[in-house]
Amino acid sequence: MRDQLKRYDKRDKSADIAEIVCVDRVKKTIYPFKKGELVAVVCGERSEQRNFNRLREGLGITNVQEIVFIDNPHYWNMAMEQDVKLSQFLGEHFEKLSDDKYAALL
């Protein structure tokens, strides 16, 4: 993933309709991610995000293994069961890499 993120950072993204906004590290295992894994957080046109091939092509990231929306019902339900806001629930499971950590990763 690191090599692909390096290429992504260097390319012209002005025409992209989906983009990587940050990279998170999984703090606590949550389906389908394992603790310590890196997760690219993507925003933009949802129809682009729903299709593996279009997402791979659009971002230039070939090893997309899973597409999970942070607002999917599974995560909402888990947050509700724990009686916490979705943002708090996600914060317990994912850590946004700081700019320095992201730069060191690349």
- With cut-offs at 50, 70 and 90, classify the pLDDT of residue 85: very high
pLDDT at 36: 93
Whether residue 50 contacts residue 67, with contact meaning beta carbons closer than 8 Å, is answered with: yes
Confidence check: pLDDT of 95 > 90: yes
Q: Out of 53-57, 78-82, 102-106, which region has the weakest mean confidence (pLDDT)? A: 102-106
Q: Based on the number of CB atoms within 10 Å of its own CB, is 85 exposed (0-12), middle (13-18) or buried (19 or more)? A: exposed
Total domains in the fold of the chain: 1
Domain range for 55 is 2-105
For residue 32 the two structure tokens come to 């389908």
Averaged pLDDT of the chain = 87
pLDDT at 62: 81
